[in-house]
């Protein structure tokens, strides 16, 4: 088995995460409290990017601090190499691994982002990324900003869950099954499933602005973080090359619509994204050369999706501009 989880044939993602939850009633022993926890992310990672976006949209920045790891890591752990002296300024650790080992001294699994760490004890609470964003929506409501959108409305949950299930299997994880396939046949199966799903999404989004309902939901957040990485990384690095995102009119317009919505594009660091995949995945890219392209200017071009109707935030409002200390450097953004 490789460090990325493929065994001769098909890529198999390890989905055995720490399932503790931070809840309003504290039933798992972790009650929602302002300033108690720290969300640890890397802007390179699509799963972490989801948590960054949801935290922004809900306005949780002042109650749930965020530590940002650098775009690359070694076999041990993500590191805080962007911070002064290489340590997270709140947790005081050099590696995210330290928080996992503080709770589980013999922790045998991968050290993944996003993770939430209990600041007083320095122990990891959870790295269960699918549940994490749902709990930010449903359990942290006492701390949501005025005008926070409803990203997981009760009336749409069944449809959101259904869409999320096949998007995760065939798109979010489908690109990895292409990239880390161990044999030609498994790669081609993954490739066919991926583009079959993208064609399904292209058709779905041709006459509707968002995936479920007429506002942004959790489903849009989960798809966006894969789409924004598609042309810079997945098309070439993962051999998902039937066509580029920019060649799929509805998906490209949809992705630009979200990118230009406050809380989405302002969380995206294209430099970190490219450095992570092309440097860390040395078994796929042994030279570790990071491509100079693609041209990112298209992300800011008009998308015309307003004509489909819909209201991005429903009865809510856009989030404020990013905090100064959490802004993506201008040279790492679309321009």
pLDDT score of 9:
55
* Three-state DSSP state, 6: strand
Average pLDDT, the chain: 95
* Three-state DSSP state, 333: coil
- What is the rounded distance in angstroms from the CA atom of residue 217 to the CA atom of residue 149? 8
Task: Domain of residue 199: give its range.
Answer: 157-332
Task: Give the pLDDT band (50/70/90) at residue 5.
Answer: very low
Inside any domain, residue 202: yes
The residue count of the chain comes to: 335
- What is the rounded distance in angstroms from the CA atom of residue 67 to the CA atom of residue 116? 10
Inside any domain, residue 199: yes
pLDDT over 90 at 329, yes or no = yes
Catalytic (active site) residue 176:
yes
Per residue in 177-206, pLDDT (tens digit) is: 999 999 999 999 999 999 999 999 999 999
pLDDT over 60 at 2, yes or no = no
Inside any domain, residue 216: yes
Which pair of structure tokens corresponds to residue 139?
A: 């359990």
Question: Which residue in 240, 111, 236 sits closest to 172, CA to CA?
Answer: 240
Inside any domain, residue 7: no
Inside any domain, residue 186: yes
Q: Are 137 and 152 in contact (CB under 8 A)?
A: yes
- What is the rounded distance in angstroms from the CA atom of residue 59 to the CA atom of residue 279? 33
Number of domains in the chain: 1
Residue-wise DSSP of 53-82: HHHHHHT-TTTSEEEEE-S-B-SS-BB-TT
> Which among 45, 69, 191, 278 is annotated as catalytic?
45
Per residue in 296-319, pLDDT (tens digit) is: 999 999 999 999 999 999 999 999
Per residue in 141-174, pLDDT (tens digit) is: 999 999 999 999 999 999 999 999 999 999 999 9
Per residue in 274-286, pLDDT (tens digit) is: 999 999 999 999 9
Per residue in 82-104, pLDDT (tens digit) is: 999 999 999 999 999 999 999 99
> Which among 6, 37, 152, 176 is annotated as catalytic?
176
Inside any domain, residue 176: yes
Inside any domain, residue 177: yes
Per residue in 199-251, pLDDT (tens digit) is: 999 999 999 999 999 999 999 999 999 999 999 999 999 999 999 999 999 99
CATH number of the domain within which 296 lies:
1.20.1050.10
Inside any domain, residue 228: yes
């Amino acid at each position: 088995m490789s460090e990325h989880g493929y065994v001769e044939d098909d890529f198999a993602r390890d989905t055995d995460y720490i399932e503790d939850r931070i809840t309003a009633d504290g039933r798992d022993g972790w009650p929602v409290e302002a300033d108690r926890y720290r969300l640890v992310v890397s802007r390179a990672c699509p799963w972490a990017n989801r948590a960054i976006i949801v935290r922004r949209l809900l306005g949780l920045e002042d109650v749930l601090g965020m530590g940002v790891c650098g775009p690359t890591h070694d076999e041990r752990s993500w590191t805080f190499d962007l911070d002064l002296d290489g340590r997270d300024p709140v947790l005081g650790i050099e590696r995210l691994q330290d928080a996992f080992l503080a709770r589980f001294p013999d922790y045998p699994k991968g050290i993944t982002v996003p993770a939430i760490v209990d600041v007083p004890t320095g122990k990891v609470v959870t790295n269960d990324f699918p549940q994490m964003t749902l709990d930010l929506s449903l359990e942290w409501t006492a701390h949501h900003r005025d005008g926070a959108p409803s990203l997981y409305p009760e009336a749409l949950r069944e449809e959101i869950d259904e869409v999320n299930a096949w998007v995760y299997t065939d798109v979010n994880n489908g690109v990895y099954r292409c990239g880390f396939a161990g044999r030609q046949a498994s790669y081609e199966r993954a490739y066919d499933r991926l583009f079959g799903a993208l064609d399904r999404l292209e058709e779905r989004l041709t006459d509707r602005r968002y995936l479920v309902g007429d506002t942004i939901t959790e489903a849009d957040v989960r798809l966006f973080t894969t789409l924004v990485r598609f042309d810079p990384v997945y098309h070439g690095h993962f051999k998902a090359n039937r066509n580029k995102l920019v060649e799929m009119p509805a998906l490209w317009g949809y992705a630009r619509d979200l990118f230009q919505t406050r809380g989405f594009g302002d969380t995206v660091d294209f430099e970190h994204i490219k450095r992570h995949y092309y440097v860390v995945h040395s078994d796929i890219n042994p030279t570790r050369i990071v491509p100079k392209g693609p041209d990112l200017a298209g992300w800011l071009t008009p998308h015309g999706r307003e004509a489909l109707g819909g209201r991005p935030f429903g009865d809510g409002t856009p989030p404020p501009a990013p905090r100064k200390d959490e802004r993506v450097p201008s040279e790492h953004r679309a321009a």
